[in-house]
Amino acid sequence: MKKLFAIVTICFAMPAAAQQSLKCDLQANSPYGWIPSELFVEIDKNEKQATVYAGFIKKYVGKPITTELSGENSKYYKINWFVPNIELTNTRRSVNVDYSARLNKATGKMNVTAYLNGGSDMPPPRGSGTCKPR
């Protein structure tokens, strides 16, 4: 009976430990913007994937973006995602943006960088903040 209880406990505990849903409150660290104030992240350790969602993702993609975790070690997750055709407010053009985030597993601190492709020669906008379970 003890073995059965242990097996059932492990089976029900695994999905909770394998998935993590977070709400990240971010602040742009550069004057250019491009960093969302809220970012929702779901990490699936078993699938080695992350799903990201924010207001601008809803506007330009229409649904959450699922991507592979681009890196993981004992301290950090690294998450990269791509958002195409974001309109520039100062011209009639749009740019594709590659986002890169690093999430500290222990503290929940996140650093985000936005790499604009084909529309600007400014330094990549950066931001940081804290992610908490939701």
Are 98 and 113 in contact by the 8 Å Cβ rule? The answer is: no
Consecutive 10-residue averages of pLDDT for the chain (134 residues): 37 56 96 92 94 95 95 93 87 88 97 86 92 95
pTM of the model: 0.82
CA distance 35 to 116: 12
pLDDT score recorded for residue 93: 82
